[in-house]
Amino acid sequence: MANSLRVTISPRGELSVRELLLDAGLRLPSDCGGAGTCGKCRVRVLDAEGERRVLACQYVPVAPVSVKVENIGPVGRVRRVRGTVKSASLRLAVDIGTTTISLAAVDVERRRIVARREALNPQMVFGADVMTRIAAEKRIRRADVEPELLRFMDEVGIRRRSPVVAVGNTVMAHFLMGRSPASLGEFPYKSRLPFRRRISHTRDGLSYKMLPLLGAFVGSDCTAAILAAGMYRSSRLSLLVDAGTNGEVVLGNRERVLVTSTAAGPAFEGATLECGSLAQAGAIKAVRSSRGRFVPEVVGRREAKSICGSGVLDAVAEAVRAGRADASGRVCVGTRLELSNGPKAVFLSQADIREVQLAKGAIAAAIRVLLDEWDAPASAIERVYVTGKFGAAMHPGAAVRIGLLPQIPLKRIRQHGSLALLGAVRATLDTGLFEVAERFAAKCSEVVLSSHPQFEQTFVESMGLESWN
């Protein structure tokens, strides 16, 4: 990865440096969607006033300027599992997440995955969550996901006329299917795509097949995860949690399924935290407390430069356990949690901890509301599936300790990096699963938290950093 790149750009109307760089194919982090609040698009500009650091989303040049952009590099690589051979039997399965696109090349004759890639969703330049994407709808086409899909297909030898099995949350599904998601951005949150039945769409020569959407913010990625976990055929009560930016929670068995979504936000993906990042080289991924100080474990065993979601969860849980923070989230020693003594200070500020509490509270409250709707205690849950990059990396003990998950035996918890992609792969190998998905989708009931009478109070109660059952 290159450390920096210097380019000269010319002004064009009222476009900011961030927008001008985007037109040039350079994407900067912009979790706030260009509102100037996240501070992650800082660049060095050299103009008539000299060289200085500015927010690219707020700086509108009036004359040509030299811009130095740091940490430019590729967002994804193909990871070949077995030797890839160009073949008519290859198909693409893809999970389009708000943050990450996960792709798999599937050989339907040999019934195996032959190549995989994970890449950042290029739409992230317009914001870290689905609402900022909806607000930027008219400009999303400049950061469409389809070129990423086509590039992967060409690299691994998938014929473009082959059907693509795609899953994603409801907003991402609208973008992929060429529909406006604007109606999902305001009450009563209407979808322009149908619920509980498969969706087909042909766009720019690609033929997409999508598993059923389950609700306004419960997408086909959730359907695919239910398939992969086997919840639809099990008699035992199971809980499925995807603690991503658009958090999805499922409670049910083969007879009945309750689904909901909650605005967890990107805190567990590091996006909104001062030292936060995705799980990349230099990011703190785990933390333990020893003799009054934090001992971090860093991705790539390098000097700590940032902290990702699993490290954030550990740090907060360890701080509460060691008395460095209390159950209300207040820092008790100093004004912030100092996590690294290296050349770069990596810490969680008091505001960061509040962000974590909001994310944790949203997910925990969603689980508690579904349990109330089911009329069952947390102890009745026989299996918990936690999925997503954060879900796969987190330490279950820390999640239970601060109340992200209910207080149940840890042996009941199963973690998986992408149940959604696994479900899409299985539907690629067995098209009969589309019919299966439609049948169990008919048994799904969406619980809309924004209008649920108990959610607000439950959310407030769930923000405390303590276990619950």
CATH number of the CATH domain containing 171: 3.30.420.480
Helix orientation angle between 455-462 and 350-374, rounded to the nearest 10 degrees: 130
Confidence category of residue 46, pLDDT binned at 50, 70, 90: confident
Is the pTM of the predicted complex or chain greater than 0.75?
A: yes
Using one digit for the tens of pLDDT, what is the confidence trace for 116-144? 998 888 887 777 778 888 888 877 764 57
46 in Cβ contact with 53 (< 8 Å): no
Indicate whether 97 and 56 sit together in one domain: no
Confidence category of residue 8, pLDDT binned at 50, 70, 90: confident
Which residue, among 419, 365, 353, has the nearest Cα to 388 in the 3D structure? 419
Using one digit for the tens of pLDDT, what is the confidence trace for 322-372? 999 999 999 998 999 999 877 889 999 999 999 999 999 999 999 999 999
Q: Is the pLDDT of residue 245 over 80?
A: no
**50, β-bridge pairs:** 47
Using one digit for the tens of pLDDT, what is the confidence trace for 159-204? 999 999 999 999 999 999 989 999 998 888 899 999 999 999 998 7
> How high is the mean pLDDT of the chain?
88
User: What distance lies between CA 55 and its chain's CA centroid?
Assistant: 24
Give dist(CA 433, CA 424) in Å, integer.
Answer: 10
Domain end: 70, 100, 125, which one?
Answer: 70
Using one digit for the tens of pLDDT, what is the confidence trace for 78-122? 454 444 455 789 999 999 988 889 999 999 999 999 999 988 888
Query: Which of 116-130, 215-229, 359-373, 394-408 comes out lowest in average pLDDT?
Result: 116-130
Domain end: 70, 97, 116, which one?
Answer: 70
Give dist(CA 342, CA 408) in Å, integer.
Answer: 37
Domain end: 286, 311, 345, which one?
Answer: 345
Q: Is the pLDDT of residue 71 over 80?
A: no
Indicate whether 58 and 155 sit together in one domain: no
On whether residue 181 sits in a domain, the answer given is: yes
Indicate whether 401 and 433 sit together in one domain: yes
Count Cβ atoms below 10 Å from residue 461 Cβ, excluding itself.
15
Indicate whether 88 and 201 sit together in one domain: yes
Domain housing 63: 4-70
On whether residue 271 sits in a domain, the answer given is: no
Joined together, the tokens standing for residue 200 give 């087909």
362 in Cβ contact with 265 (< 8 Å): yes
Q: Residue range 238-264: average pLDDT?
A: 92
213 in Cβ contact with 224 (< 8 Å): no
Rama region for 323: left / alpha / beta (φ>0; ψ in -120 to 50; rest): left
Q: Residue range 257-281: average pLDDT?
A: 85
Indicate whether 194 and 248 sit together in one domain: no
Which residue, among 356, 466, 406, 439, has the nearest Cα to 249 in the 3D structure? 406
312 in Cβ contact with 356 (< 8 Å): yes
Task: Indicate which CATH number applies to the domain containing 408.
Answer: 3.30.420
Radius of gyration (Cα) for the chain, nearest Å? 22
Indicate whether 417 and 394 sit together in one domain: yes
Number of domains in the chain: 4
Indicate whether 185 and 85 sit together in one domain: yes
343 contacts: CB under 8 Å, gap ≥ 6: 303
On whether residue 215 sits in a domain, the answer given is: no
On whether residue 166 sits in a domain, the answer given is: yes
Percent of the chain with pLDDT over 70: 93
Confidence category of residue 69, pLDDT binned at 50, 70, 90: confident
Indicate whether 336 and 394 sit together in one domain: no
On whether residue 467 sits in a domain, the answer given is: no
Give dist(CA 282, CA 340) in Å, integer.
Answer: 11
On whether residue 468 sits in a domain, the answer given is: no
Indicate whether 259 and 365 sit together in one domain: yes
Indicate whether 112 and 180 sit together in one domain: yes
**Sheet (strand 257-262) strand order:** 413-416, 383-387, 238-242, 247-252, 257-262, 444-446
Indicate whether 234 and 179 sit together in one domain: no
Indicate whether 156 and 241 sit together in one domain: no
On whether residue 40 sits in a domain, the answer given is: yes
On whether residue 180 sits in a domain, the answer given is: yes
